[in-house]
Amino acid sequence: MADQSTKKSPPVSVRQENFLRAHHRHHHRITLGRFLLLFLFLGFWETASGLAWIDSFFFSSPSGIIKYLGQMLADGSFFTHTGITLFETITSFILVTVLSLAAATLLWYQNSLSEILEPYLVVLNALPKSALAPLLIVWLGTGSNTIIVAGISVAVFGSIISLYTGFCQVDPEMCKLIYTLGGSRKDALVKVILPSSVPLILSSMKVNIGLSLVGVIIGEFLAARRGLGYLIIYGSQVFQLNMVITSIIILCAIAMVFYKLIQSAEHYYKKQY
Amino acid sequence: MQPILSLRDVSYSYHNLKGETPALSHISLQISEGSFAAVVGPSGCGKSTLLSLIAGLLPPEDGEILYRGLSSKDYCADSALRIGYMLQRDHLFEWRTVYQNVILGLELTHSLTAENTDYVLKLLDDYGLYGFKDKKPSELSGGMRQRAALIRTMAIHPDLLLLDEPFSALDFQTRLSVSADIASIIRKTGKTALLITHDLSEAITLADHVIVLSRRPASVKQEMSILYEINREDPLAIRATPAYQEYFNQLWEVLTDGRPID
C-alpha cells in the first residue's frame, strides 16, 4: 500500500520539497513554543510554591491541583459538578442559537417590527446581565432553570443583533434574482439569506458558546448548590484555593473543547462548499 | 406585426425624505414579437428602473404597461407569460452546484418536472456546460458563468427576455464572444429580447431595434432600426461593415445632441 501511494504521487521538485520542509519546520516550532510556554509556567509555579517564594495556601501549586483533581475523580464530585455545568451551558447555548435565529428571521421578515424593537434590543444587550440575576432568583428560584436563563440572557441579545445585521447585509440583488425567477420573500429567506449566512451563524455560535458559559458561571455563583461556579465561590469562602483553581482549570478545558468543536464544524462547512 | 409589449406614458420616481428623484418620464414604446431590442442611454438615466417596471418588480406610478394585452398585475400572475430577467451580475450561488443553480427558477415556481429538467440538461449540453454541471460556480470562467446565468433564465421558459447589461462584468475579449454567443442563442429560440446597455457598439451589433433614452429623467429620444446585409453571427465582421460605422455615428449624434463631449 505504502509503495503504491509513493509511486502514484507526482514527482516533487527540490524547491517544492524545501518549501514543504520549511513549512513543517515552522509549524513544529510554533507547537513546540506553545508547549514550552505551558511547561515553563507550570515549572515556575511549582518551584515557586515548593521553595516558598509564594504561599501555596493562597496560590496553590500544579502538584496540589493534580492531587485535588485525583480526589475529585475518586469521590465522583468531578463528574457531578462538571456535568451540571456542561449540561447548563449546552442547554443555554442551544436555546440561544435557536431563539436568536428565529428572532433574526422574524425581524428580517417584518421590517417595521425590527424598527420598533431596535432600541429595546440595544438597551437589553448593553444591560449588565448580572443585574438581572437577583430578579431571576426571585422569579425562578435557585437551580438549573435560573442558571440556564442567566446563560441565555448573556448571549441572546447580541446574537440577535449580529445575525439580523448580517441578514440585512446580504446583497439585495441576490434577492432580486429570486423575485425575477418568480420566488416570494419566503423563498428569498430560505434560498438566499439563510444559506449565505451560514459562516456568520457559525461565527456567532463561536461567540455564543463562550458567553453562555459566562452566564452559567455567573448564575452558579449566585444560585446553585452544584456546578463549577458554585465550587469556585464555595472554595473561596472556605479558603480551599485548590478547589477554586482546579475548577478554573476545568473551565479552561471546557472552553477549549467547545472552541475546537465549533472550529471543526466550520472546517467541515468550508470543505463542503 | 402586433407588439408583444407596449408602454404608454410610463413615469416613475424614487422618493426619500430629501425629495423626489424622477427616473422615467412619459416613456412610450413598443416591442414587436420576436425582435431583439436594445435600450441605450447615459449611465444612471433609469434604464434598470425601466426593466424592473416591465418585469413587474416595481409598479408604474403613471401610465400603463401592456404585455400581450395584459396589465402588469395580470401578466405577473399568469404562469404562461413568464418574463426572464438576466441581471448585471450572474449571482450564481456558491453554496449550490452549477446544476442546482440553473434549476433555481424551476424550484421556485414548483415546476421541477422531468420534462423541464431534461430541457435544462439539454441547454447545459448545448452551451457546453454539461461537463461542469456538478462543479461550483467559482470553478467556471466569466463567460461560462454568464452562460449558466442565461440557462437559469431560460429554464423557466420565459416568453420575453430582459437583459440588464449582462455582459458588463466581462473583460473586452470575452464580452465580444459571449455577447455574440448569447445573442445568437436568443435569436435561434425566437424569443423576444430587450437588452439594456451603455455600450453603443454592443447595441448596434446585437439588436435590430435601438431605443435611445435621454438623461434623467429618461424619456425616449429616438428609435432606430438596424439592418445588416451580412449574417449577425460574427460580431467582428459586422463591426467592419460601413453600415455599422454609419449607425454608430448616427447614434453618437443623437446621444450627444451633435455636440462634442464635455
ipTM of the complex: 0.84
Residue A66's CB is within 10 A of a number of other CB atoms, namely 12
Q: How confident is the model at residue B47 (pLDDT cuts 50, 70, 90)?
A: confident
Q: How far does A221 lie from chain B, in Å, by closest CA?
A: 44
Domain boundaries, chain B: 3-256
CB contact under 8 A, B57 and A171: no
* Pair B148, B70: CB distance under 8 Å: no
> pLDDT averaged over chain B?
86
Task: List the 87-126 stretch of B: residues with Cβ below 8 A of A.
Answer: 87-89, 91, 93-95, 104-105, 107-109
Low-confidence ranges of chain A (pLDDT < 70): 1-9, 273
pTM to 2 decimal places: 0.82
Q: How far does A16 lie from chain B, in Å, by closest CA?
A: 25
pLDDT the model gives residue B41: 84
Q: Which of B238, B166, B165 is nearest to B201 (CA)?
A: B238
Helix (H, G, I), strand (E, B) or coil at B132: helix
pLDDT the model gives residue A6: 46
Dihedrals phi, psi of A5, to nearest 5 degrees: -65, -35
pLDDT the model gives residue A4: 47
**H helix runs in chain B, sequence order:** 47-54, 72-77, 98-102, 104-108, 114-126, 142-154, 172-189, 200-206, 235-240, 242-256
Q: What is the rounded CA–CA span in Å between residue A72 and residue A93?
A: 27
* Pair B211, B39: CB distance under 8 Å: yes
Angle at B15 between CA B13 and CA B16, to 5 degrees: 155
pLDDT the model gives residue A247: 94
Q: What is the rounded CA–CA span in Å between residue A223 and residue A57?
A: 27
Dihedrals phi, psi of B6, to nearest 5 degrees: -140, 135
Select the residue from B53, B90, B95 to test the A interface by mutation, using most A Cβ atoms within 10 A.
B95
* CA atoms B31, B203, B169, B129: torsion sign: positive
Q: Which residues of B touch A189 (CB under 8 A)?
A: none
Q: How confident is the model at residue B258 (pLDDT cuts 50, 70, 90)?
A: low
pLDDT the model gives residue B259: 66
Say how many CB pairs under 8 Å bridge A and B. Answer: 49
CB contact under 8 A, A174 and B91: yes
Q: What is the mean pLDDT of residues B173-193?
A: 84
Q: What is the rounded CA–CA span in Å between residue B189 and residue B183?
A: 10
Give residue B235's identity as a one-letter amino acid code. Answer: P
Q: Which residues of A touch B89 (CB under 8 A)?
A: 173
CB contact under 8 A, A181 and B93: no
Of A176, A178, A182, the CB nearest to B156: A182
* Pair B52, B12: CB distance under 8 Å: no
**What would the pLDDT profile of B199-230 be if each residue is shown by its tens digit?**
888 888 888 899 998 888 888 888 888 888 88
Residue in chain A nearest B106 by alpha carbon? A181
pLDDT the model gives residue A5: 45
Q: What is the rounded CA–CA span in Å between residue B246 and residue B179?
A: 21
Q: Which of A158, A176, A238, A192 is nearest to B164 (CA)?
A: A176
pLDDT the model gives residue A91: 96
Q: How far does B164 lie from chain A, in Å, by closest CA?
A: 12
**What would the pLDDT profile of B55-85 be if each residue is shown by its tens digit?**
888 888 888 888 888 887 777 777 777 889 9
pLDDT higher for B93 or B237? B93
CB contact under 8 A, A173 and B55: no
CATH for B3-256, options being 1.10.4160.10, 3.90.1150.10, 3.20.20.70, 3.40.50.300: 3.40.50.300
**What would the pLDDT profile of B125-165 be if each residue is shown by its tens digit?**
988 899 999 999 999 988 889 889 989 998 988 888 999 98
The listed range with the strongest mean pLDDT (A33-37, A59-63, B9-13, B190-194) is A33-37
Residue A62's CB is within 10 A of a number of other CB atoms, namely 17
Q: Which of B106, B224, B199 is nearest to B158 (CA)?
A: B106
* Pair B156, A182: CB distance under 8 Å: yes
Alpha carbon B53 to its chain's center: 13
Q: Which residues of B touch A174 (CB under 8 A)?
A: 91, 93
DSSP state of B219: -
Q: What is the rounded CA–CA span in Å between residue A157 and residue A105?
A: 14
User: Residues 6 or more apart from B80 whose CB is under 8 A from it?
Assistant: B159
Task: List the 56-85 stretch of B: residues with Cβ below 8 A of A.
Answer: 57, 79, 82-85
pLDDT the model gives residue B178: 82
Q: What is the rounded CA–CA span in Å between residue B29 and residue B40?
A: 14
- Which residue is associated with the grid cell 449571482? B91
Q: How far does A174 lie from chain B, in Å, by closest CA?
A: 6
Percent of chain B at pLDDT exceeding 70? 97
Residue in chain A nearest B104 by alpha carbon? A181
Of B88, B108, B136, the CB nearest to A178: B108
CB contact under 8 A, A176 and B94: no
pLDDT the model gives residue B260: 59
Q: What is the mean pLDDT of residues B240-247?
A: 88
C-alpha count within 13 angstroms, C-beta hemisphere, residue B119: 15
Paired residues of A48 in beta bridges: none
Q: Which residues of B touch A195 (CB under 8 A)?
A: 93, 95
